[in-house]
Amino acid sequence: MKKIKDLKIVSDKGIRYGMARYAIWACIVNLILETLERQSIPVLGGIIFVFTHPLLFFYNALLIFATLSVCFLFRRRIFLATIISGLWIAIGIANGVILTQRMTPFTMKDLSAMTDGATIMTNYISRTKLIVMVASLVIMAVVLVWLFVKGPKVEKGKLKLKRNLLVVILIILTAFGSTVGLLKINVLSTFFGNLAYAYRDYGVAYCFVNTWLNQGIHKPSGYSEESVKKVIKKSGISKSGTVKITKTKSRDSEDGPNILFLQLESFVDPTLFTNVEYSQDPIPYYRSLMKKYSSGSLTVPACGAGTANTEFEVMTGISVKFFGPGEYPFKSVLKDKTAESLAWDLKDIGYGTHAIHNHRAMFYNRNEVFNNIGYDTFTSLEYMSGAEKTPKNWAKDKILTSQIMDAMKSTKSRDYIYTISVQGHGKYPSEKMIADPRIKVTKAPSEEAKNEYEYYVNQIYEMDQFVKKLTETLSRYDEKVVLVMYGDHIPALNITEDTYKAKDLYQTQYVIWSNYKMKKQDKDQAAYQLAADVLNRVGIHTGTIFRYHQNVSHKSASYLPNLKLLGYDMLYGQEYIYGGKNPFRKAGMKMGVKKIKITKVVNVGGKYYIKGQNFTEQSKITLDGKQLKTVYLGPSLLGLLEEVDPNDASKMKVSQIDKSNNSIISTTE
């Protein structure tokens, strides 16, 4: 059979027709992307975007067309066009799927978090759907191989490369010029206050590319050593214009309270949802705390997902809005760079510093990032024994009370502890999963919504009971304690500004509890201002960024620009703040506050048992770095389920394993 040839596009007339076909195809691909984005209006969503925002629709189509035009520089252009189109459609599908599970759209940064996403995928997507996805990828691979071998291609010698290159350059320049022009007339923007709204308003193609090209903190205009020193002096951080890290114990750590932060997963006041009603208040205890102690609304940088960005703002005092849209500093700059944070600043005045999370240590690179920003210890789920799970397989938060108390008792000094909960995490099932719920949803938009909200409010009811148990325990502690509690973001439910009785979708509620008398001072604030406010209330004035927040009026016109200047200098610039040299090193962080230890290796009837201390369900016997089949028999006993050479028995160790990717987190000495 004669091989099909793609010959029309080799003549001047042919390239016009070829480009026209690709331009039409780019519009179709864009229509698919916009339809998948607007799930509240199935099928018609993309068409509505065409008529309501025609300029933006065709601009996004132009971006896609510019990528397709590159195909005219190659002989196998149909094969290449299929790959490029497939990538765009894959972005649209990924965005559509993600928007069914959370309120934040798909970004380039999600690709860097694919390993994390894969570890919890079964919590969101059924195994049947996963099999269908894998099968689809296999079919696509087969089609691509066939196209490469048998597909149409331009005959040798008939590819007019110079002419085609000129045309491609003109198309790309047109796309670039259109972007600049639309930015100047404010039809487009590079700042996305709400990423979900940006995708809807500006188009998927433009926003996704923006999350790829727009990363980190851009260098502020006028950035120099002089400008940095001027801000430091003017804000009262340092009279010399540079910050010195003293690493000396002060009276603040002796007289000050233990400072605890508790970040509650997806925790908000559910009575603010106007389209849902309940049989009783899901958070009665937390509500009582808000009435008695300092509280208010907390503006967070995440919406329905993005826990780590709320952590970043609280821990560093730097706004995530200074970074590229959809960026996670934990996945980018802080993965490799040591930097100042609340942990370092409190360590500098003698505090012990601890992080606790009842989920995987490696999620969001926390096991690396926390070491870079000053934590002495990090207790993750792998170092906890006996954690109960929700029906969706998230660890329940009540295990955190004992973990917090263990961390406080592990040092003689005052302690700073940052605890991240996980129980309230989505996905919230649309089918009924709790047979006899304590909190019943009495009104909801649909049966599916009723089940989702009912599951959610029963999880946060249990979280409310955990908070009660924790405060009761801390109230009996013989040292001063301040406990700051807040939600990291609203839950990934079908919540809109019309159905959420807060100022916007980026607001949760915080409360500052203490086991001693503190004056009640209610106010609304941002997550990046919270730690500075807490330190100020307890009389601690330390840390570059936190002193900046304490000394500079938040209403000042220069407040945010200068905060960005300091953040850039610390994370991306010349570190003029510290005299041109980063004074921070890795903290030498230990995993867990309790040492996992082997005391004896026992041979009983030819089978080996490891006796020791503080084993957990994630403990495995290892030999020369290889994991051996292990059975967990209790905190002091592990059993070996395979044979080993008696000469190697003494070399066996115990390692804590990340079950999601089967990797070793730490190993006994």
- Summarised one tens digit per residue, pLDDT across range 508-539 is 999 999 999 999 999 999 999 999 999 999 99
Q: Tell me what pLDDT residue 254 has.
A: 65
Q: Tell me what pLDDT residue 321 has.
A: 92
Neighbouring residues of 441: CB distance < 8 A, sequence distance ≥ 6? 276, 277, 278, 279, 450, 453, 454, 457
Judged against a pLDDT cut of 50, whether residue 10 lies above it is answered with no
Q: Tell me what pLDDT residue 327 has.
A: 85
Q: Kindly report the pTM of this predicted structure.
A: 0.84
**What is the dotted CATH code of the domain comprising 225-243+256-590?**
3.40.720.10
Of the chain, the percentage scoring pLDDT greater than 70 comes to 89
Judged against a pLDDT cut of 70, whether residue 5 lies above it is answered with no
User: Worst-scoring range by mean pLDDT, 77-91, 147-161, 272-286?
Assistant: 147-161
Confidence at 147, pLDDT banded by 50, 70, 90: low
Q: Tell me what pLDDT residue 79 has.
A: 83
pLDDT tens figures, 224-248: 999 999 999 999 999 888 888 765 5
pLDDT tens figures, 409-438: 999 999 999 999 999 998 899 999 999 999
Q: Tell me what pLDDT residue 480 has.
A: 97
pLDDT tens figures, 280-314: 999 999 999 999 999 999 999 988 888 999 999 99
Judged against a pLDDT cut of 70, whether residue 43 lies above it is answered with no
Judged against a pLDDT cut of 50, whether residue 1 lies above it is answered with no
Q: Which residue has the higher pLDDT, 565 or 86?
A: 565
Judged against a pLDDT cut of 80, whether residue 65 lies above it is answered with yes
User: What does pLDDT average to over the chain?
Assistant: 89
pLDDT tens figures, 560-614: 999 999 999 999 999 999 999 999 999 999 999 999 999 999 999 889 999 999 9
Cα distances (angstroms) measured from residue 163 to each of 153, 160, 172? 18, 6, 15
Q: 3-class DSSP state for residue 442?
A: strand
Q: Tell me what pLDDT residue 558 has.
A: 96
Average pLDDT over every residue of 61-81? 89
Q: What fold characterizes domain 595-667?
A: Immunoglobulin-like (2.60.40)
Beta bridge partners of 631: 639
Domains of the chain by residue range: 13-213, 225-243+256-590, 595-667
Q: 3-class DSSP state for residue 579?
A: coil
Q: Please say whether the beta carbons of 300 and 545 come within 8 A.
A: no
Q: Tell me what pLDDT residue 8 has.
A: 39
Q: Please say whether the beta carbons of 667 and 627 come within 8 A.
A: no
Q: Tell me what pLDDT residue 154 has.
A: 66
Judged against a pLDDT cut of 60, whether residue 250 lies above it is answered with no
Q: Tell me what pLDDT residue 236 has.
A: 93
Cα distances (angstroms) measured from residue 127 to each of 100, 363, 429, 496? 17, 22, 15, 30
Strand ranges across the sheet with 352-357: 525-526, 294-299, 507-514, 481-487, 258-264, 415-420, 352-357, 377-379, 590-591
Average pLDDT over every residue of 355-360? 97
One-letter amino acid at 136 equals S
pLDDT tens figures, 441-457: 999 999 999 999 999 99
Neighbouring residues of 258: CB distance < 8 A, sequence distance ≥ 6? 408, 414, 415, 416, 417, 477, 479, 480, 481, 482
